[in-house]
């Protein structure tokens, strides 16, 4: 059976579609291919960020979704199979090239939805360099959806560690909602590491857990995942609509 062509997905577009679609904003999902315990798929981070991007674009006119980046900087997850990592400089270069391509074809408003912790630094460097090169462009980033979800949902939503953890309660929940056919909860297991609260240690993942997961994925449910997806989608939709209303102006107010 033929799949339906989705108007806002760049991967589905022709040249005519793009030139006549009135697209002003591009969404880019950045993920990874790496171990997520024995219960979640390797491409968890890409699937989640891409699904969020598609849900947002479906609600905001003039927004297109670029094909996602399936590889990230995952060197700190290499102690368990299968992690396919790219170097920091590689990730920065790929991101810069994609941003430059968007700018070249008139997409000067870009929202990056990141799904993986190792991508935060490359995204920061690439977007800062791009902004310096193109002051009229705007790059916005949802850096850590897993942390944001815990902060915008009611405090009693999660049972352990506010839903945090690599392949933990939050990630297991959002996977159970978005792609349950790829989840094996019978194999879910994780540990909450002993980490300081305010000072960040640059750990290797094998120092935190023996099984590829931190937090408690056994507490994950599809209902918690639904709440996460709805809250994050609404946050990003509201952000884009507010930015559109202001013509993407920010910073100093008029008359300041």
What's the CATH number where 18 sits?
3.40.50.10310
- Domain assignment present for residue 159? The answer is no
Domain range enclosing 111 = 10-154+232-244
Tens digit of pLDDT at every position of the chain (256 positions):
568 999 999 999 999 999 999 999 999 999 999 999 999 999 999 999 999 999 999 999 999 999 999 999 999 999 889 899 999 999 999 999 999 999 999 999 999 999 999 999 999 999 999 999 999 999 999 999 999 999 999 999 999 999 999 999 999 999 999 999 999 999 999 999 999 999 999 999 999 999 899 999 999 999 999 999 999 999 999 999 999 999 999 998 755 5
Q: Are 163 and 15 in contact (CB under 8 A)?
A: no
Model pLDDT, residue 253: 74
Residues in the chain: 256
Angle at 127 between CA 134 and CA 93, to 5 degrees: 100
In whole angstroms, what is the distance from residue 145 CA to residue 122 CA? 17
The whole-number pLDDT of residue 108 equals 98
Would residue 73 count as lying in a domain?
Answer: yes
- The DSSP annotation for 199-238 comes to S-----GGGT-SSS-BS-GGG--HHHHHHHHHHHHHHHHH
Domain assignment present for residue 201? The answer is no
Q: Does any domain span residue 220? A: no
| pLDDT of amino acid 254 | 52
Beta strands in 39-79 (DSSP E): 63-65
Give the pLDDT of residue 27.
99
Two tokens at 149? Answer: 């979800």
d(CA 34, CA 36): 6
CA distance 76 to 26: 30
The answer to whether residue 37 sits within a structural domain is yes
- Give the pLDDT of residue 252: 81
The reply to whether 36 falls in a domain is yes
Three-class DSSP labels, 141-190: EECCHHHHHHHHCCCCCCCCHHHCCCCCHHHHHHHHHHCHHHCCHHHCCC
Looking at the 3D structure of the chain, how many domains does it have?
A: 1
Q: Which residues are registered as beta bridge partners of 138?
A: 109
Structural domain contains residue 50: yes
The burial class, CB within 10 Å (0-12 / 13-18 / 19+), for 182 is middle
């Amino acid at each position: 059976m033929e799949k339906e062509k989705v108007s806002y997905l760049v991967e589905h577009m022709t040249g005519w579609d793009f030139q006549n679609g009135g697209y002003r904003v591009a969404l880019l999902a950045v993920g990874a291919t790496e171990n997520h315990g024995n219960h979640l798929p390797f491409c968890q981070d890409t699937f989640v960020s891409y699904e969020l991007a598609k849900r947002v674009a479906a609600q905001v006119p003039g927004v297109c979704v670029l094909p996602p980046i399936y590889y990230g900087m995952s060197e700190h997850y290499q102690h368990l199979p299968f992690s396919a990592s790219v170097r920091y400089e590689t990730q920065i270069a790929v991101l810069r090239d994609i941003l430059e391509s968007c700018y070249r074809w008139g997409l000067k408003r870009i929202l990056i939805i990141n799904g993986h912790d190792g991508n935060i630094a490359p995204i920061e460097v690439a977007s800062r360099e791009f902004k310096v090169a193109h002051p009229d462009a705007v790059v916005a980033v949802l850096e850590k959806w897993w942390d944001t979800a815990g902060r915008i949902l009611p405090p009693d939503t999660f049972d352990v560690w506010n839903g945090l953890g690599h392949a933990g309660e939050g990630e297991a929940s959002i996977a159970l909602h978005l792609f349950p056919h790829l989840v094996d909860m019978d194999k879910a297991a994780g540990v909450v590491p002993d980490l300081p609260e305010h000072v960040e240690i640059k750990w290797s993942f094998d120092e935190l857990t023996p099984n590829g997961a931190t937090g408690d994925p056994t507490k994950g449910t599809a209902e918690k995942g639904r709440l996460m997806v709805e809250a994050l989608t609404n946050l990003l939709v509201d952000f884009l609509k507010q930015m559109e209303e202001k013509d993407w102006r920010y910073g100093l107010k008029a008359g300041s």
